[in-house]
């Protein structure tokens, strides 16, 4: 059974610092891994999708790496801004039916 | 706008009532999902439909019944609502196993 863990559970940094969010999963047989952002009381916004054959994906200040063999992904957010404050969720797709297994999330606060 | 849209956004109802949540996607995706986010913010899959056929049915009380009239719509009907059903319910869609998810903005259900 796939288990997804996100560390840390919460993170507070001053504006301008780089953010490093970690995600680990127990079963390396995945199709892809997706990072989402959730603002309080809102839905999930997709940030990056990494296929199992890829090592990383980049979008603007965001970079996500994937090491499938060790069951790890890291989301880097460069030069954090107060607007980056949100909960970040990672989810892995591990079966052909497309079921996503989510981590519990990392709650990020960026202080001005 | 291309999106996954859910209605209603908020739903407050008494125990024992029956309620429905509707979901529509105009992304042309062939698979749709219902996820439940509990009070601890953990997201867990409930159901999935692929081209109107049920493909995932997690351990969910049979008071919950999904219905997919066509591949663009997936509704969730809940009978005899209980206090423990209070949560945020998210609809999502995906094009296939190698593609990412697009989520709706959620329906906050409160049972009183």
Span B83-98, average pLDDT: 92
Residues 6+ apart with CB under 8 A from B31: A98, B48, B49, B50, B51, B55, B93, B94, B95, B96
Cα–Cα distance measured from residue A51 to residue A54, given in angstroms and rounded to the nearest whole number? 5
pLDDT in tens, A38-79: 998 889 999 999 999 999 999 999 999 999 999 999 999 999
Q: Which of residues 23-52 of A touch B (CB under 8 A)?
A: 31-32, 34, 36, 41-46, 49, 51
Indicate the average pLDDT of chain A.
Answer: 95
Instruction: Tell me the average pLDDT of chain B.
Output: 93
Q: What per-residue confidence (pLDDT) applies to B2?
A: 66
* pLDDT(B98) > 90: no
Q: What count of CB pairs under 8 Å joins A to B?
A: 61
Above 80 in pLDDT, residue A24? yes
Report the pLDDT value the prediction gives residue B1, as an integer from 0 to 100: 67
Position of tokens 């999708």? A49
């Amino acid at each position: 059974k796939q288990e997804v863990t996100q560390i840390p559970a919460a993170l507070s940094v001053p504006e301008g610092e780089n953010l490093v969010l970690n995600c680990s999963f127990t079963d390396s047989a995945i199709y892809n891994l997706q990072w989402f952002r959730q603002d309080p009381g809102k839905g999930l916004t997709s940030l990056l999708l990494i296929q199992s054959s890829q090592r990383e994906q980049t979008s603007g200040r965001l970079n996500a790496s994937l090491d499938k063999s060790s069951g790890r992904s890291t989301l880097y957010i460069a030069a954090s801004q107060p607007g980056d404050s949100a909960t970040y969720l990672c989810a892995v797709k591990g079966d052909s039916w497309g079921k996503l297994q989510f981590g519990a999330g990392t709650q990020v606060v960026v202080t001005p | 706008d291309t999106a996954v849209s859910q209605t209603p956004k908020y739903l407050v109802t008494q125990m024992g009532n029956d309620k429905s949540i509707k979901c529509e996607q105009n992304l042309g995706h062939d698979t749709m999902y219902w996820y439940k986010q509990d009070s601890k913010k953990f997201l867990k899959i409930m159901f999935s439909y692929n081209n109107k056929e049920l493909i995932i049915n997690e351990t969910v009380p049979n008071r919950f019944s999904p219905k997919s009239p066509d591949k663009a719509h997936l509704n969730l009907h809940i009978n005899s609502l209980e206090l423990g059903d209070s949560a945020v319910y998210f609809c999502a869609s995906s094009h296939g196993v190698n593609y990412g998810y697009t989520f709706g903005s959620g329906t906050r259900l409160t049972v009183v």
